[in-house]
Chain A
Amino acid sequence: MQKNLVIALTGGLFLLATVLMSQTKKPAAASGKPAAKSGGASGGSQASITRGKQVYLEQCLACHQVDGLGVQGMNPPLAKTKFVLGDKKALAKIVLTGMQGVEVEGEEYHGVMAPHPDLTDQQIADVLTYVRNSFGNKATAVTVAEVKAVRAANPAPAQ
């Protein structure tokens, strides 16, 4: 237990240092609103993250908030949850088809998330890559091809 803690601590320190360094290298891309940690080698292209941030501001921020931590009881957090960091197909499907009612870390969220089939595959790939590399998250990029495959498997219902 003790040993694990030390290892984890060291790991944490290293991780943070890396994030900090990667940020200092890219002042232009990282500028703007609070503490959206982006960048990093495994985290997808910086261009995609930058574009994704714009999509986030326009489509996601009102509910998931500036810091990605959501709203108690209503809109779930996007930081460090398996929904964001796990299966990319499941994640893309949420954006395309919407969702309501989810439990995250033992807390229930009842808010309605509208489907967003109007976003392009590129926009969805970008915003998910941004979210997977912000708010303390660090995960691989979501590609246009992956979104395309999920869209093909989940056609939008007629209005």
Chain B
Amino acid sequence: MQQFIKKEVFRKAACLTAGLFLTGLISFAGGGNGGGGGAKGQPAKTTDAASQLKLPSGFSAVTVVENFGRTRHIAVGPGGAVFVKLSKLKDGKGIYRLEDTDGDGKADKITGFGNFPGTGVAISNGYLYATTDEDVYRFQLNAKDEVMNPDQPEKIVTGLLSRHEHEAKTIALDDNGNLFVNIGAYSNACQLQDRTKGSPGMKPCKILDSAGGIWEFKAGKANQTYGDGQRYATGLRNCVALFWNKSTNSLFVMQHGRDQLHDLFPDIWDTKQSAELPAECMYELHQGSNCGWPYMFYDQLQHKKILAPEYGGDGKMTAGDEAQDPAAAYPGHMAPNGLVFYTGSQFPEKYRNGAFIAFHGSWNRAPEPQKGYFVVFQPFKNGKPSGEWEVFADNFSGGPEKAASGRVDYRPCGLAQGPDGSLYVTDDTKGTVWKISYKK
């Protein structure tokens, strides 16, 4: 214990010292990034989480909660109660109900329940659904968005594959009693040895039997396993963000594209190309959709489906004639973690039926500058993406230098629309939840 305290004190003192010397160090090192290590020694920040966000004219944000832990996905009940799912238990609880009783946007009545960590949460037909990395549970809600039996969740799906890569199970529900679950592939590109130079791609990729796709289950049936569900769509590496679009009556997903083109194939892609490629793709799915992973990837610069190098590709050969084209494509590695289609009337008309996408931010663009850490708006027309995407909510990072280094203040993760048409955004780095509203 004594040893521990000493170490702790030394660490703090070292941080303090580092803080004192930070200016000198940075100028000496020719502009290193001080975002990670030195932060503890710096004086408290003056900007608060609410005013840090940069939003279009007329929009403003308040924080519902701050410093709340690993807040991942979010759902809002018809009565306006907010539910956040935590991937790490906070005071033994994995789900929190956040209620704003006085109308200032901030949660003033907070209750935790569900003793399981995870990412996914959604509300449908009077039930709150929430996930672990293996299971889906649900809780009944009453007319006030209160959880009826917080200690007795009903297990809806169990025994899903979780192998510590793309393990987060995320969910969406349609209006016909169906539950869609993202089961991410426990692999980067289905190599025999994951992420290992020279290891070939599995032929066929057996991961696709039980992961790398979206599975469909019954929303109201207990204890379903793989055998009770069906593979709804395949060839999807990992789709943390998925959402049932009521205007098209179809499921939209955002795929996390593969990593490490340069690391594994430096003769084909340089670090700059590898930072941009492949695209992070939006897909509109239907029963039986195949989006081509791992055999191909979408190159948004060539506008082509390219044969994966693990399967003999050279960066130019095309493949995946049978695979679906993306509905929209975004720069590589920005990690889309949240998706919601806007159906409210509070925001201006142009947002109606368009998509908001939370880009968690990249890591696999190094040594090139990292990118993402923002919420994007993708305009839609007649159910299809129409026009260029734009950054809607920016500066989660805290500035261009922090974004470039990846040592950012906040990382947007989950999105949800409130009954009043406000947009909620979570951050899973510090545990911030913002409510974004519009006023003419």
A→B interface (CB under 8 Å): 1, 4-5, 8-9, 11-13, 15-16, 20, 23-24, 33-35, 57-58, 61-63, 65-67, 69, 71-72, 74-75, 79, 98, 100-101, 110-115, 118, 136, 159
C-alpha gap A35/B198 in the complex (Å): 32
C-alpha gap A11/B5 in the complex (Å): 16
Digit string of B208-220 for contact with A (CB within 8 Å is 1, else 0)? 0000000000000
25 sampled A-B residue pairs with Cβ under 8 A:
A8-B6, A9-B16, A11-B10, A11-B13, A12-B13, A13-B17, A16-B17, A16-B18, A20-B21, A34-B32, A34-B33, A35-B32, A58-B266, A62-B262, A67-B32, A69-B407, A71-B363, A74-B363, A75-B363, A98-B196, A100-B165, A110-B167, A114-B194, A114-B195, A159-B199
CB pair B407 A114 closer than 8 Å: no
C-alpha gap A16/B14 in the complex (Å): 9
Report the minimal beta-carbon distance from B36 to chain A, rounded to whole angstroms.
Answer: 4
- How many A-B residue contacts, CB cutoff 8 Å? 111
Residue of A1, A69, A71, A136 touching B9 (CB-CB under 8 A): A1
Residue of B with least CB distance to A35: B32
B182 within 8 A of A: no
Q: In the complex where A4-B9, A20-B24, A66-B367 touch, is A34 in contact with B17 (Cβ < 8 A)?
A: no
B263 within 8 A of A: yes
CB pair B196 A115 closer than 8 Å: yes
Residue of A8, A67, A100, A115 touching B14 (CB-CB under 8 A): A8
CB pair B367 A118 closer than 8 Å: no
**A79 neighbours in B (Cβ, 8 Å):** 37
Report the minimal beta-carbon distance from B256 to chain A, rounded to whole angstroms.
Answer: 12
Within B1-33, the residues touching A (CB, 8 Å) are: 5-6, 9-10, 12-14, 16-18, 20-21, 24-26, 28-33
CB pair A35 B29 closer than 8 Å: yes
Interface size on B, residues (CB 8 A): 48
Closest 10 pairs between A and B when the two form their complex, measured CB to CB = A35-B32, A34-B32, A12-B17, A8-B13, A114-B196, A71-B363, A8-B10, A35-B29, A69-B36, A110-B164
B→A interface (CB under 8 Å): 5-6, 9-10, 12-14, 16-18, 20-21, 24-26, 28-33, 36-37, 164-165, 167, 188, 192-199, 260, 262-263, 266, 363-364, 366-367, 405-407, 411, 429
C-alpha gap A136/B32 in the complex (Å): 13
Report the minimal beta-carbon distance from A108 to chain B, rounded to whole angstroms.
Answer: 8
CB pair B17 A9 closer than 8 Å: yes
Report the minimal beta-carbon distance from B106 to chain A, rounded to whole angstroms.
Answer: 26
Report the minimal beta-carbon distance from A110 to chain B, rounded to whole angstroms.
Answer: 4
**B17 neighbours in A (Cβ, 8 Å):** 9, 12-13, 15-16
Residue of A with least CB distance to B365: A62
Further contacts, 17 of them, CB under 8 A, given A4-B6, A8-B13, A35-B32 = A8-B14, A12-B16, A16-B18, A16-B25, A61-B366, A62-B260, A62-B263, A65-B366, A66-B33, A66-B366, A67-B33, A69-B37, A69-B407, A74-B363, A75-B363, A112-B165, A136-B37
**A12 neighbours in B (Cβ, 8 Å):** 10, 13-14, 16-18
Residue of B with least CB distance to A20: B28
CB pair B407 A118 closer than 8 Å: no
C-alpha gap A66/B20 in the complex (Å): 23
**B14 neighbours in A (Cβ, 8 Å):** 8, 12, 15
Interface of A is mostly: mixed
CB pair B164 A67 closer than 8 Å: no
**A11 neighbours in B (Cβ, 8 Å):** 10, 13
CB pair A65 B363 closer than 8 Å: yes
C-alpha gap A34/B32 in the complex (Å): 4
Report the minimal beta-carbon distance from A49 to chain B, rounded to whole angstroms.
Answer: 16
CB pair B25 A35 closer than 8 Å: yes
**B9 neighbours in A (Cβ, 8 Å):** 1, 4-5, 8
CB pair A112 B363 closer than 8 Å: no
CB pair B16 A112 closer than 8 Å: no
**A100 neighbours in B (Cβ, 8 Å):** 164-165
CB pair A71 B367 closer than 8 Å: no
Residue of B13, B164, B167, B195 touching A5 (CB-CB under 8 A): B13
**A16 neighbours in B (Cβ, 8 Å):** 17-18, 21, 25
**B164 neighbours in A (Cβ, 8 Å):** 100-101, 110
Report the minimal beta-carbon distance from A23 to chain B, rounded to whole angstroms.
Answer: 7
**A62 neighbours in B (Cβ, 8 Å):** 260, 262-263, 364, 366-367
**B24 neighbours in A (Cβ, 8 Å):** 20
**A114 neighbours in B (Cβ, 8 Å):** 193-197
Residue of A with least CB distance to B36: A69
Residue of B with least CB distance to A30: B29
C-alpha gap A65/B35 in the complex (Å): 13
Report the minimal beta-carbon distance from A75 to chain B, rounded to whole angstroms.
Answer: 7
CB pair A9 B13 closer than 8 Å: yes
Report the minimal beta-carbon distance from B198 to chain A, rounded to whole angstroms.
Answer: 7
CB pair A67 B407 closer than 8 Å: yes
Residue of B with least CB distance to A24: B28
CB pair B366 A159 closer than 8 Å: no
C-alpha gap A32/B214 in the complex (Å): 45
Residue of B with least CB distance to A33: B367
Residue of A with least CB distance to B17: A12
**B165 neighbours in A (Cβ, 8 Å):** 100, 110-112
**Residue of B13, B167, B407 with most partner-chain A CB within 10 A:** B13
